[in-house]
Amino acid sequence: MRVFFGVLLSPLLCLAQAVAPAISFNKTHHDFGKVMQGDKVSCRYEVTNKGSAPLRIKEVRPSCGCTYTVVGQMLLDSGETTTIEAQFDSAGMIGSIHKSLDVISDDPSAPIAQLTFEASVVQEVMASPSTVIFNNVSRAGSDASNIFLKSGNDSPITVTNIEIPNAPFLSCESQKDGNDVVLKLNIIGNLIPKGMSRGVEIMTVNTTSRQIPALLFRILWNVPLTITASPNRIVWKGSAGSEMRSAITIRHTGGKPFKILGAESTSPEIKITGATKKSAIEHKIEVILSAKAKAGMYNERLTLKTDNPDQGELEINVAAALR
């Protein structure tokens, strides 16, 4: 009897296990390759039931940035095929993009199957970098930097105009490099106006691209300070009700005499003494926090005005934490 049941039940168990749906795809990944930003593209995945029982596609869950359509029925008999179409909208995207769709079915061995696709989203003109920094530009010298305009559609880039308003010390020329363009940016130190030590300029580059006819770039620059403070920042910690003092030395880095024409503070509780209009290559001043200052946090700024043509002002930050 024991052998009889073993012989009888074994085929029944195998039969029960064999009667089940089995989801299969002609592919699980699609590569769109290069896609122009703003274009909408789609691809199709064929779904086949290779099992011996009906297959029900319960749901398709796309990741953000794509939608789907099931072209055909959601219930497949054994051997039947349907299609899932994925649509991808590249608007607002750039670079290498990877997306997925989860296909949820009643296949017991693969209840969640994942379909994926990728795309390289490009623009007609891709610029790098978008911000250029000229740090510590010598007034007696110059500096240069390159910006690269790369063609995203393999068509030649043509620059029609370059403008940097109100910055005669900056110049830019375009140079062809196959389909791409190199922008050669220069800054001339002796053309920087006296009294200016830093700035942010906007450069506009016009091209024949219909998608991106104008490109904007930020140019940050600064020249070394000729008049410096040591220390260049004051930090006080203590109890309210006590006067605090710090000595600061102001000097010309080139050893040229200069005058301190005035001194201002953003707080009435902070005073500056020792600032005279006497011409010297070095000045010693004292910064005083009044005993009347109340408990709290202070973040203030001192401004010294000078007669130096290259640097008319010097700012010193003052911080205090009073208990």
pLDDT, tens digit (0-9, with 9 covering 90-100), for 299-323 = 999 999 999 888 888 999 999 999 9
Which of the listed residues 172, 203, 222 is the one where a domain comes to its end?
222
pLDDT in tens, 143-156: 999 999 999 989 99
Same domain, yes or no, for 108 and 45? yes
Ranges of residues in the chain whose predicted pLDDT is under 70: 1-18, 65-66, 68
Residues 233 and 305 in one domain: yes
- Torsion angles phi and psi, residue 177, rounded to 5: -140, 75
Residue 48 lies in a domain: yes
Based on the fold, state whether residues 261 and 194 are members of the same structural domain. Answer: no
Predicted local confidence at residue 17, as pLDDT:
54
The domain boundary residue, chosen from 122, 149, 169: 122
The alpha carbon dihedral of 190, 194, 198, 203 has a sign of negative
pLDDT at site 275: 87
CATH number assigned to the domain comprising residue 195: 2.60.40.10
Is residue 266, in this structure, part of any structural domain at all? yes
Report the domain count for the chain: 3
Residues 145, 165, single domain; the answer is: yes
Predicted pLDDT of residue 3 = 43
Rounded to 5 degrees, φ, ψ at 190 are -75, -5
Q: Distance from CA of residue 316 to its chain's centroid?
A: 31
Residues 59 and 93 in one domain: yes
User: 188 and 247: one domain?
Assistant: no
pLDDT value of position 1:
42
Q: Which domain holds residue 208?
A: 125-222
Among 103, 122, 141, residue at a domain's last position = 122
Q: Is residue 198 assigned to a domain?
A: yes
With a threshold of 0.85, does the pTM exceed it?
no
> Which three-class secondary structure string do you get for the chain?
CHHHHHHHHHHHHHHHHHCCCCEEECCCEEEEEEEECCCEEEEEEEEEECCCCCEEEEEEEECCCEEEEEECCCEECCCCEEEEEEEEECCCCCEEEEEEEEEEECCCCCCEEEEEEEEEEECCEEEECCEEEECCCCCCCEEEEEEEEEECCCCCCCEEEEECCCCCCEEEEEEEECCEEEEEEEEEHHHCCCCCCEEEEEEEEEECCCCCCEEEEEEEEECCCCEEEECCEEEEEECCCCCEEEEEEEEECCCCCECEEEEEECCCCEEEECCCCCCECEEEEEEEECCCCCCEEEEEEEEEEECCCCCCEEEEEEEEEEC
